[in-house]
Structure 1
Amino acid sequence: MPNPPDLAALLESPLARDRDADSMQRQLHERLKRAILDGRLAPGSRLPGSRALAEALSISRNTVTAAYEHLAAEGYVQPDRQGTRVTELSSPVATTTTTKRPRNKPPDSPTTAHRLASIQPRAAFSEPDATFRPGVPALSHFPATAWRRALDRAIRTASPATLGYGDPLGEPQLRAAIARHLAIARGVRCEPRQVVIAEGAQEAISLCVRLLSNPGETGWIEDPGYRGAKSAMRAGDMHMVPIRVDAEGLNASAEDWQKHPPRLVYTTPSHQYPSGAVLSIARRLALIAEARRHGAWIIEDDYDSEFRHTGEPIGAMQGLVPDAPVLYIGTFSKTMFPSLRLGFLVLPEALLASVRAPLEEMLRGGHRHEQLAMADFIESGQFGRHLGRMRRLYRDRQQALRLALTRHLKVPHEIDGGYCGLHLTVRLPPRFDDRRIAAEALRHQLAPVALSSFALQPLPSDNGLVLGYGNTSVELFEPLVKRLSQLARAAECGDSGSGA
């Protein structure tokens, strides 16, 4: 067995003794561990006795003993009758330093699933309060005091059992409240047992993919359309087929059904994202009929249709006909606030028996007090009153943004986005690079998203900007649109500046 090494030399520098330093025991433990991992303390070498090392380092023997015991508990050293020796280890650090590698060749990248390469990164991150960011509601108008009272009641009245895991499909009170609300507000046909609580619409879409598709099966997605649906299908190893969207929404032809029969069809029929088109009743009924005929399931994402700014609300496709092959998805991210992370999935009655057991294994239940508070918020009428206030606010903001665009966007453009929701889409001629405009806008704390980034197979018409107005004040619209106009002109002429 090798003689004890000179640990005082191996530790490289004296242990720090100032008040803000880690304890002597922790410092000694970390340095010994690092010396073992990087090979400076060879396997089988014997460490000095605790008394000898304590004297060499001028520290307490108890400190050395405690550090040795910690190393032994982790398996770095092995005490025996002759002292303490270093365990035989496969050191990852030592391996990488001794392996010969061609000059200038970087280390091998970690191995990941092939599907990750096909998942498109979202646009550059922007703060929630960045202007014109799509999908963010008016956060400063949320009734935080009323929500806090609902949370307080939920915590005060709930039993200690609510601190444990709940029903994997969600709290019964919230599922019942959602079922009643959807029947009245959206025309959805469902019983509470059909409602599954999820962490937002994205998890609900992913659940649909995991429950209903097999790798290699075909999924239809709107083009341009919601990137989260594409990511969920890619993660499920589905073969995606983009179906173009026009003024009447998803435009699936007989040839599409014949050549690419889908297992899943994702659609946003009440307010297509991002074009704002409404799927016509003729196309809704045809889509349901063809899905039945081909054994396909429709995922209806009703993400922001609570906020319709003109006329009567458009009912959900799910409730059009009995037993429609439609999985209805909703979220509280737009009607409440995004960080709540509560959404829901309404399953067709025909699926309940076959998916209940898998769902109980895939989900664990959680956010129980938030779910109970949300149920109380709905049943007390606070949710309905909040929706009414927000409808008026968003209607006024959309009208103001349309006016600001008409007055101050001094480049050729068309305004899409319908009269619903929290965003407008501004289409630009192809000579204006929408991705360049969006990237430059972010430098000015504006966060519109390039329309072309939503398309799987972009066409020249898929060029423009998606502008969120939900969390942007009306008084900012005119100066912000003027800035966008400058950025667009700069992108057209190829100037690298902002045009300001």
Structure 2
Amino acid sequence: MFRHSQLESVKAWIAHPAHVAMPLHARIQRAIRQLIVDGALGAGKPLPASRALALSLGVSRDTIEAAYAQLHAEGFIDRRVGSGSFVAQMTEFASGHRPFRRDAPPRHQAPKLSKRGNAMFHGGGIHDALLPRPFSPGVPETRSFPLQLWERLERQVRREVGTQALAHGDPQGTEALRRAIADYVNLERGARATADRVLVLTSSQQAMMLCANVLLDPGDRIFIEDPAYHGARKAFDTAGLECVPIRVDRHGIVAKRILAEPRKAKAVSLTPSHQFPTGATLALDRRLALIEWAARHQAWIIEDDYDSEFHYAGKPMACVQGLDPHDRTIYIGTFTKSLFPGLRIGYVVLPPQLVKPMTIARTLLDGHSAPMAQLTLARFMEGGHFGAYVRSMRGIYAQRLEALADLVRKHLPDFVEPRIPVGGLQMPCLLTGDLSERVAIDAGRNAGIELLGLSALHATDDAEAGFLMGFAASTPAEIEVAVKRLANALRAATKR
């Protein structure tokens, strides 16, 4: 018979809310197995008779018999006719060590990770909220997406392609989508792309991880903007690269600092069309200077064109890749911002010599992107729906940006100064009052509002305090409610 503490342990395991979805016999089997694994029931110890244990637990004998049968099948107990059930003699592995030891280290001690694993873990990863709060940066409007049209196109694909869309896809991406992407970036972004140079991925983050690990070795130097998109910096940090921050001014990254740097770097990471988070556009002379620098030093330009579809003051400047005659620029784009995050389709336009290495490397990450979504997106683009949708949302986002700027000036004049961007899905605000950035962010979070602090995006200590306010996912009425709530939260924080 079990000791009282062992019986109570089994009862507690059975009743735990996390286990109630299991059949009763499975819960009893798992509870007894855990006692054996923990060493509370040693090898050779007898188990209670099924009738006695059933009475103690208030269950049927058949339930106990089913639990014991599973424990026996898994090798945890021996059943002897006429003698009863006993913990199996699992005395040694081939190495001579006992499998279950009371002096074993705690099961939940910190794991020993690789250097890269530690860098990934302690870097905190990239967190996208499942249900974004007001002002979460980089979140597009999804309620206006033409879902019925998308579903109709998807049904067309299923009828025409059939079960082929259920099979493994081309690791480089379906040809139809690669052709549609090449046509789009050539027309709208001034790129130099062909379908055979496009690699379809799940996100721009995956593209940066590929660049960091395929093109550079641990210890190699890479120039990055300061401030910079945190996902890019984390991708390079976890690959073991030496990130060298280069200041950004109102004309973009200060290229002369790169040209004057005596120590060579293997790459530079840029958001030239709409610098994250400042919103600056990289000046043409600096673009040309960086193109020549990359060619001279056989370095790479990693161009992240993450939200260029949404430009509210004239047409955006053409991408760097389209200006580069030396094929040293890697152009990264995504549909996460222009369509919806759940699509999980991004892409990269590669120099010809990188297409095969990058495609093969991609097969080691996730194999390929889902063919059905790719084929549907290709049809969405080919039919002119993508361009129409982007134009429609550009107008909506411009109105929302104007509403946010007016409301911030009206309700938050004692706290922040808005910096109106020419594009994008978020507006930078600089703190002007006595509140610290941390206090302001915490006050907003306590009020159900998400603000991304600017200081954390800087590598140096001379950052201006402030935060980003995303506006794309909220209507003007929703923005007004959230701004007033933030104003109340910040006023309350100043009185503490």
SS in 1 for 2:333: strand
Q: Does residue 192 of the first structure (1) align with residue 195 of the second (2)?
A: yes
Return the TM-score normalized by structure 1. Answer: 0.85
Of 321-330 and 220-229, deviating more is 321-330
The amino acid across from 1:119 in the alignment is G
- The residue matched to 2:392 in structure 1 has which SS? helix
Q: Which of 65, 86, 91 matches 2:88?
A: 86
> How far apart are the structure 1 equivalents of 2:455 and 2:324?
35
Question: What is the CA-CA distance between 1:75 and the residue it aligns to?
Answer: 3.2
Q: Does 1:115 align with 2:116?
A: no
Aligned CA distance change for structure 1 residues 384 and 85 (closer, same or farther; 3 Å) = same
Q: SS in structure 2 opposite 1:262?
A: coil
State whether structure 2 residue 248 is matched by structure 1 residue 245.
yes
- Deviation (angstroms), 1:248: 0.5
Aligned length: 479
Deviations 1:422-472 (A, max 9, x none): 111122348441222122112222222221121121314x21121111012
- Given that 1:299 and 1:329 are in contact with CA atoms closer than 8 Å, whether structure 2 keeps it comes out as yes
Q: Are the counterparts in 2 of residues 224 and 456 from structure 1 also a CA contact under 8 Å?
A: yes
Q: 1:396 to 1:80 in 2, by over 3 A?
A: same
Native 8 Å contact 1:425 1:464 kept in 2: yes
Counterpart residue number, 1:301: 304
Counterpart position of 1:43:
43
1:292 corresponding residue in structure 2? 295
Counterpart of 2:155 in structure 1 is 152
* 1:73–1:193 CA distance, 2 compared to 1 (3 A): farther
Contact in 2 for aligned 1:131/1:445 (Cα 8 Å) = yes
Q: Which residue is 1:339 aligned to?
A: 342
1:287-366 maps to which residues of 2 (within 5 A)? Answer: 287-366=290-369
Q: Which residue of 2 aligns with 1:262?
A: 265
Contact in 1 for aligned 2:222/2:241 (Cα 8 Å): yes
Gap change, CA 1:490 and 1:93, over 3 Å in 2? farther
Letter in 1 for 2:370: H
Please name the residue that 1:469 is paired with: 471
Given that 1:274 and 1:417 are in contact with CA atoms closer than 8 Å, whether structure 2 keeps it comes out as no
Which residue of the partner structure matches residue 72 of structure 2? 72
Match of 1:167 in 2: 170
Q: Deviations over 1:275-317 (max 9, x none)?
A: 0000011001111111122221111111111111121232111
- 1:126/1:447 contact within 8 Å kept: no
Q: CA deviation at 1:223?
A: 1.0
Query: RMSD between aligned alpha carbons?
Result: 3.3
1:29 is matched with: 29
- What is the CA deviation profile of residues 383-434 of structure 1, one whole-angstrom value per residue up to 9, with x for unaligned ones? 1110110111112222233333344432375433531111111223484412
Matching residue of 2:103: 95
In 2, distance between residues paired with 1:181 and 1:353?
22
Alpha carbons of structure 1 residues 93 and 154: separation in structure 2 relative to 1, 3 Å: farther
What is the CA–CA distance in structure 1 between the aligned matches of 2:27 and 2:241, rounded to whole Å? 51
The equivalent position to 1:401 in structure 2, one of 400, 404, 419, is: 404
Structure 2 residue matching 1:387: 3-state secondary structure: helix
Determine the C-alpha separation between the residues in 1 that align with 2:68 and 2:472. Answer: 59
1:8-42 Cα offsets, whole Å, 9 max, x none, are 9954477989xx88545324422321221222321
- CA shift, 1:325, in A, is 0.9
Give the gaps of 5 or more residues in structure 2. Answer: 92-97
SS in 2 for 1:159: helix
Q: Aligned residue for 1:142?
A: 145
Q: Residue deviations 1:228-276, cap 9 Å, x none?
A: 0011111111111111110001113356653442222111000001100
Alignment deviations for residues 179-208 of structure 1 (CA, whole Å, 9 cap, x no partner): 111111111111112211211111111111
1:264 alignment partner AA: A
**Shift of residue 366 of structure 1?**
3.4
- Cα offsets for 1:317-348 (capped at 9, x unmatched): 11113243111111111111112211111111
Q: Out of 449-458 and 252-261, give the one that drifted further.
A: 252-261
Match of residue 458, structure 2, among 455, 458, 464: 455
Q: 1:430 to 1:210 in 2, by over 3 A?
A: farther
Confirm whether residue 276 of structure 1 aligns to residue 279 of structure 2.
yes
CA contact (8 A) 1:288 1:324 kept: no
Deviation, structure 1 residue 135: 0.5
> 1:121-176: per-residue Cα shift (whole Å, max 9, x none)?
768x7664522221011222111221222222233332223222211222222112
> Is contact 1:118–1:234 with CA below 8 Å preserved after alignment?
no
Cα distance in 1 for partners of 2:280, 2:11 equals: 70
User: Shift of residue 381 of structure 1?
Assistant: 1.4
Partners of 2:126 and 2:2 in 1: how far apart?
A: 54
**Partner residue in 2 for 1:103:** none
8 Å CA contact 1:298, 1:325 repeated in 2: yes
Instruction: Go from structure 1 to structure 2 and tell me whether the alpha carbon gap of 1:485 and 1:54 turns closer, same or farther (over 3 Å shift).
Output: closer
**Unaligned ranges ≥5, structure 1:** 100-105
Aligned-pair distance for 1:224? 1.0
